[in-house]
Amino acid sequence: MLASGLLIGTAGCGFDDGLSRRDAAPPTGTPAPTRTAPAPATPSANPADRQLRLAFAGDVHFTGRTVALLDEPRSAFGPIAEVLRDADLTLVNLETAVTDRGTPEPKPYLFRAPTTAYEALRAAGIDAVSIANNHALDYGRVGLLDTLDSARSARFPVFGAGRDVTEAYAPWLTTVDGVRIAVVGFSQVHALSEQWKPTSTRPGIAMAFDRDRAVGAVAAAHRQADLVIVFMHWGIEGSACPSGEMKSIAGALAGAGADIVVGTHAHTLLADGWLGRTYVHYGLGNFLWYGTSRSTDSGVLRLTVRGREVIRNEFVPAIVSGTGQPRLVSGSAERAIRDKLATARRCTGLSPTK
């Protein structure tokens, strides 16, 4: 986990300071630093030669049985945090508003969490979170603005939403070991998408339905960075196969310059592969989860990249335990998850190799 600096990316702004994972995290409540242009690389620092280890996991929130985990935020994720920390960059989806205010939206499931969620995320080794999902506005625009404000106060990076349309579609920009990385987040969930999309005067989450803007955001990120990651919120709940809508936007994002596309939302694991030179994982399932779900299968996706190329992909199986924490599995439980993933790969339409 790198120490965080930049919160929500703004198009055309510089990268954060790229502090190493060994540096202490900044104290909660410290104002966000002023962004500066990256320092010139040393002559031997060629990003195309650098190898980085990335980690991704699925949906996280603190409500129901998991809110009690925030009584001890530094251990909220349990032992699986060791896997998350063992990467140069770790990303998950934060499936909740972080607020104690707002008006509930007209929807069946409503999630919100206290600000100690950021302490738990940071302690687990998570560097940034997508909030481009169908729960970030569960408590309206007041709740979303609280989420953005509290993230800034905690100096914890979030992406995929913003105070206006420009901020919502902007990448989070960071530098890790000399490699400039841009991360963008989009939702492809239909419910309330019209009401939740951002405008020039209204906060909201970045929607993949605005295809031209989403593709343009990825193309712009490609011009700014050595590596472009897209974190999607998409899929059909309970289905281990990607829909045609998912495959279509994945192709468009790959064509625009995305190097990695990963996603969540279906509450079950989907599978991965290559779309040309772009690595795609259609669904990472639940990770730290409040209650019953369509599946308890979970895990951590670990990728090794060199330049823009994914040179190794590995999925570390886990299950969502009775506490809501993800727990690593082995033996027959691990084999069962790997067998399900092997079956799911048949419907991805992706190549097993580049």
pLDDT beneath 70: ranges in the chain: 1-45
CATH no. of 50-347 = 3.60.21.10
Domain boundaries, the chain: 50-347
pLDDT reported for residue 354: 87
CB 222 within 8 A of CB 257: yes
pLDDT digits over 300-330, tens only? 999 999 999 999 999 999 999 999 999 999 9
CB 57 within 8 A of CB 297: no
pLDDT digits over 62-116, tens only? 999 999 999 999 999 999 999 999 999 999 999 999 999 999 999 999 999 999 9
pLDDT reported for residue 117: 98
